[in-house]
Every structure is written in structure tokens, then in C-alpha cells.
Amino acid sequence: MARVLVIGGDAAGMSAAASLRRRLPEAYEVVVLERGEWTSYSACGIPYWIAGEVEGPDDLVARTPEEHRKNGVDLRTGTEAVSIDLEAREVEAKDLASGEVERIAFDALVIATGAEPLRPDLPGIDGEGILGVQSIDDGQRVLDALEHDPQQVVVVGSGYVGLEMAEAFVVRGISTTVVEKAPVPLSIIEPSLGEKVAEAMRGRGIELRTGAGVEGFELDDDGHVRGVVVDGEAMPADLVVLGLGVRARSDLAADAGLPTGVKGGIVTDARQRVAGVDRIWAAGDCVETRDRTTDLPVHLPLGTHANKQGMVVADDVVATLLEVPNRLTFPGVVQTAITKFCALEISRTGLGEKQATDAAFDPVVVTIQTSDRAGYMPESGEMTVLLVADRGSRRMLGLQVVGTENAGLRVDAAATAITAGMTVDDVVMLDLAYAPPFASVWSPIQVAARAAVKALDA
């Protein structure tokens, strides 16, 4: 009997495993090792569970371990892959409850170990009450800490997770401070838009400390955090949440000699095959991928990509094992993302100005203010749209949006345009939906594109 072994039971791993079980003959085993007890869940929903907008962790689960097992997947929760032996084609696995270790042979191996929150090597970092937020268990630890009624929460970092966790604490009425090393929050967007995010955060009562570096953490006699040291000053804190981003959880692969790249991401080709080895694939937050505009490697951990890459893995494993044609590849990303802080929506796609310059483009940047629907309609909201174009080719390179409700998803049309390599002139002529309750005569991205055309023609 042939065996496909999958390490990791969340988006990429279970997407691959479920598809493999459907497409492979019964003579093939599909075995999944998952060190936790949850599978196929939305890590992106954890901040909203903590905020109370989602009732419980079960609501974040797309498919339970029991459901996967009923579908024929040999899913082993509470089991951690300890090492990979490439020569023997075996994985050493440890049952975390009993401590027993076994070696599991494989004919094909899929690595989908995800990502892990960054925990800088700072004094006191291992103290109680200093938490990351990546898994359902992490979310439960935060909720358990909130049962002790913390008076002061400090969020370190203001990326997507930091911003969303700050909102969760604000919704709960907890005094919150956000510490960010950069001059403005959410550095993935341009500073002028970051200022709007900062204004919204302060408007909701958050103490925002930008341009400030965390130097360590003060602990009480019981080892619990009591303060965060910022630029030589100790700020009181009963609970600290780290929102400093993530790195690929790829140590298992690297220890086996597999190649890694950006932020530790495992290096794969467009079929998610690990470079330089036979019948080993990797997918999800543990891999690096390719930016479609620059053709440069990037690490972009998002569930959307993980699920697609899992599908690609399954397709190529089936093609390899059954010797049938391959159908799918993963073409890369244009770095599209969206989040919100309370009523403020923030989204971006493509390249920012510095990214464009670093990639040898000659960027032209325009910023416009517009409404989310016809201005005469009730409850019309405002948004700021920033567009980046290349001077020589007139190609649209990036778009960022900050605005009220219904502003954020405007970025999807821009992502499509960037993927297609469209110029700003092309975007102006797109046939986009219009009716007064939904948009003005000119879509917000077309208003920005028209401004870019004027700037390029000046």
C-alpha cells in the first residue's frame, strides 16, 4: 500500500489531504500528522472571537477532525512530526499524550507546518501573560487571561494582527496601548494612509506609541508580566499581546536539509514541489512564493493562498503517483490584503512606492479623496485611494484604500487589473458597476486612475 504523508492539519495540509482522498484510489493511504487538536480553522477569525463578535472556537472551524476521518483521511491529532529522514523516506512522529515515538514511511510527503508568531529575544519575553495569537489555543489563552480582568493591555506591533487585537480590546472596554517601532501603524501601507489609521486608533482611546522600540519586559515575583520597557521607560501592563508578524515554521524542513528562503519559507516551484528533492511538496504559510509583478520571492502567509496551494499540491501528487497529466500550478501573488479597525477599512494590493522603486520601476503616486457611493445618497462615506503606476509603461502597480464601510473591497478590482498587467488608461475604461447606492459614476479606482493619467501626461 502506498502512503501520502501530510504534516500539518490546517488550511494547506487539509486542503491537500481532502482532495487527495477524493482523487486517489483506496489503495493509497492519506495520513495527516497534526500536533494540535483543531483542524481546518480560520486563524484570521481569532481576533473577532476574542472581541466577542464570534461566539466560540467551533464557529471558526470549517471541518472537524471527525469529519475528515469520516471522509477517509487517517488524521492523527496530538501527534508532532519530530524529524524527516530523506534517505529512508520516513518521518519520526511523537504522540504528545503518551510520549511514544514511531517512524512513518512515506511514498509522497507534504509539508504544511504553517507559520509562528515572532518572539524577539528580549529580557522577560518568556514571562507569563506575554502571548502571541496564531492558533485557536493561543486565542483561548488570551481569553483565559482576560478572565483575570487586566487593567492595562499592551499590544506590541501594529500589523494586521496587532491592529485587530487592539480593536478587540477596545471593543471589550480595556485600556490599551499599542507600541510600534515604525513612524505610523500598519507599515504595509503608505505613511500618509497610516496617519489616518493612527487618527482612528487614537480616536477610540488607544494610546499609540509610534517610533518606539520595546527593549524588554518587567516581571513580578511570580514571573507574570507587569511592565513593558519602551525606550528606557517601563509602561505598566497586565497583559501583552505580540503582533510583530510571523515567520515560516520551517525548522523541521530546514533540519532535513530542504532549501529555505524569505523569512524561512521553504523554496518550491509553481507546482509546490520542494526544490531539489523527489516527491516532496510544501504549501501554505511555511513556504515562500513569487510576486507576480516583480517576479521576486516573498513570504505572504494568508489562508487564501494556503488553500489554493493545497489544491495545487494534491493535483501534482495525483499526477505524479498515477502518472496522469498535471492540471494546476500556483502562479504567485500580488500581495492583496484587507483588514479594519472598528469602522475604518484598510486594504492594499500590488506594490507601494518604495517596493516599486526597489524593483526598478519609475513610480508615479497619486492620492485622491472620493465617496463610496453617489454623494447625494444617505450615509455616503468617504475614502482615500492611493495609486502607484509606472511612468514608462503606464502600468498600474499598486492601490491602497482607507475609508468607511464598503471601501475596503474596492481593492479587488485593482488586484485583478494588476494581475492582468493593465495600464491606468485601461483601468479608466473598465466597465464597472454603477448605481447611486453602490458607487459614483466613476468607481473610486477609476477616479484614482484618471488622476494617474493626468500626472503621467503632465
Catalytic residues: 44
Q: Which amino acid is at 437?
A: P
Beta-carbon contacts of 17 under 8 Å, excluding residues fewer than 6 positions away, are 4, 6, 9, 30, 32, 68, 73, 75, 110, 314
Nearest CA to 227 among 322, 141, 127?
127
> How are beta strands 344-350 and 363-371 bridged, if at all?
unpaired
Q: How far apart are CA 142 and CA 129, in angstroms?
A: 8
Measure CA 75 to chain center.
Answer: 25
Q: Which three cell numbers mark 61? A: 472551524
Q: Is the dihedral of CA 418, 419, 421, 422 positive or negative?
A: negative
Residue with cell 512513518: 104
Q: At what angle do helices 191-203 and 160-171 cross, to 10 degrees?
A: 20
Q: How far apart are CA 443 and CA 445, in angstroms?
A: 5
Q: Which three cell numbers mark 106? A: 512515506
Q: How far apart are CA 164 and CA 170, in angstroms?
A: 10
- Helix or strand holding residue 28 (H, E): strand 28-34
Q: For 287, which DSSP code? A: B
Tell me the β-bridge partners of 298. 289
E runs forming strands in 107-151: 108-111, 115-117, 130-132
Measure CA 448 to chain center.
Answer: 27
Give the angle subtended at the CA of 74 by the CAs of 69 and 78, to the nearest 5°: 95
What φ, ψ does residue 51 adopt, rounded to 5°? -70, -15
- The helix/strand/coil state of 365 is strand
